[in-house]
């Protein structure tokens, strides 16, 4: 398995700005109800350089603290106060319009959590994408149900022109409780093998460890529905 070092991207001010813009532009103004998140996102965009610098300082402090811990050196108190610590999750329930199922969404603040999550994915996305299954469509850039429909239509047309009886079966499969069933240790071990950089691995582990659905014999399971990291980690895990 080829491995990659993406640590330099996590401290690249342009990559940080891209992560901030991606997060903040996803916040839409509601016709009714509270627009607190939207207004804060607009404030961050209006002060992009300031928040990019703050994010960089948080990431660098995190790196220094974890580096000192690994080397068993004294930890600077200022770094300990500044470093990234995942904010406590705020769950809320929605009803899925398609299936009618109730789903628990985990919400965290835009700054710094959502921006840190997006920064991790900005750094790792090219690595994840290069090994993604060709026909993966869900939660993939330029993917989705329309891309899936194109694949199916092309396959059906190709076989229809050759042999109309070639396509006889279709299977609809589902992984029961996919996100809640993901093992933290297996996911982290796979990330360790794929990414050589320690900063990316440490930050990813901090995000993964910030939430779990269940714990069995000391092993934690579950990724949160609502984190931008979860669908990428899920596809990578599968």
pLDDT tens digit string along 143-193? 778 888 888 888 888 777 677 677 777 788 888 899 999 999 999 999 999
Number of alpha carbons in the 13 Å side-chain half-sphere of residue 83: 19
How many whole angstroms separate alpha carbon 134 and alpha carbon 110? 32
Instruction: Judge whether residue 98 has pLDDT over 90.
Output: no
* Tally of CB atoms within 10 A around 145: 9
Q: What percent of the chain has pLDDT over 90?
A: 66
Model's pTM, two decimal places?
0.89
Do the beta carbons of residue 57 and residue 10 sit within 8 Å? no
How many whole angstroms separate alpha carbon 46 and alpha carbon 30? 20
Q: What is the pLDDT of residues 5-27, one digit of tens each?
A: 999 999 999 999 999 999 999 99
What would the two tokens of residue 107 be?
A: 């919400």
Mean per-residue pLDDT for 214-232?
94
Give the residue from 122, 150, 124 showing the smallest Cα distance to 137. 150
Do the beta carbons of residue 138 and residue 42 sit within 8 Å? no
Do the beta carbons of residue 60 and residue 68 sit within 8 Å? no
Q: What percent of the chain has pLDDT over 70?
A: 96
Least confident of 32-36, 49-53, 165-169, 233-237: 165-169
- DSSP class per residue in 7-39: HHHHT-HHHHHHHHHHHHHT-PPPSSS--HHHH
Least confident of 76-80, 101-105, 177-181: 101-105
pLDDT at 1: 59
- DSSP class per residue in 42-73: HHHHHTHHHHHHHHHHHHHHHHHHHHHHHHT-
């Amino acid at each position: 398995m080829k491995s990659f070092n993406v640590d330099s991207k996590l401290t690249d001010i342009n990559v940080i700005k891209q992560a901030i813009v991606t997060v903040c532009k996803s916040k839409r103004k509601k016709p009714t109800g509270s627009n607190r998140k939207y207004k804060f996102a607009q404030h961050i965009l209006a002060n992009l350089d300031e928040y990019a610098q703050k994010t960089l300082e948080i990431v660098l402090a995190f790196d220094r603290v974890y580096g000192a811990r690994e080397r068993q050196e004294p930890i600077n108190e200022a770094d300990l106060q500044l470093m990234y610590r995942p904010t406590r999750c705020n769950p809320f329930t929605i009803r899925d319009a398609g299936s009618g199922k109730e789903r628990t969404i985990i919400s965290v603040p835009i700054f710094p959590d959502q921006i840190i999550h997006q920064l991790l994915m900005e750094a790792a996305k090219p690595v994840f994408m290069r090994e993604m299954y060709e026909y993966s469509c869900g939660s993939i850039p330029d993917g989705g149900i329309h891309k899936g429909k194109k694949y199916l239509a092309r396959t059906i047309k190709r076989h229809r022109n050759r042999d109309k009886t070639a396509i006889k079966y279709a299977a609809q499969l589902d992984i029961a409780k996919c996100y809640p069933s993901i093992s933290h240790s297996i996911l982290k071990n796979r990330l360790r093998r794929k990414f050589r950089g320690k900063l990316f691995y440490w930050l990813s582990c901090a995000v993964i460890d910030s939430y779990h659905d269940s714990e069995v014999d000391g092993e934690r399971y579950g990724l949160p529905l609502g984190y931008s990291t979860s669908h990428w980690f899920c596809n990578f895990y599968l």
